[in-house]
């Protein structure tokens, strides 16, 4: 579809808390990269050494703080317009 409509895209992995805490996000990234049409960029590094504040405690999904961190990361990755 990107060729048909002439746009570029990037793939990012937003890992759940369990993957980040256990360090298994690198294995998940490797498995996804094995089948992806292009390299997938990780985002686990934006959480630093304490990922818990960025996720809801009961289900491990990202919260508002994480959404902001990931947005800032994506904007920095894209660079200036």
Q: Is the pLDDT of residue 81 over 80?
A: no
Q: Quote the pLDDT of residue 49.
A: 82
pLDDT by residue (tens digit) across 4-50?
A: 888 888 899 998 888 988 889 999 999 999 999 999 999 999 888 88
**CB of 63 closer than 8 Å to CB of 54:** yes
**CB of 70 closer than 8 Å to CB of 77:** no
Instruction: Pick the closest to residue 51 from 59, 42, 60 (CA basis).
Output: 60
**pTM for the predicted model, two decimal places:** 0.80
Q: Quote the pLDDT of residue 60.
A: 83
Q: Where are the domains of the chain?
A: 2-78
């Amino acid at each position: 579809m990107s060729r048909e409509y002439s746009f570029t895209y990037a793939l990012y992995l937003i890992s759940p808390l369990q993957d980040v805490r256990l360090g298994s996000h690198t294995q998940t990234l490797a498995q996804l990269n094995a089948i992806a049409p292009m390299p997938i960029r990780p985002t686990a590094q934006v959480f630093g050494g304490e990922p818990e504040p960025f996720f809801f405690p009961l289900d491990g999904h990202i919260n508002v703080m994480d959404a902001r961190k990931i947005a800032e990361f994506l904007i920095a990755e894209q660079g200036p317009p």
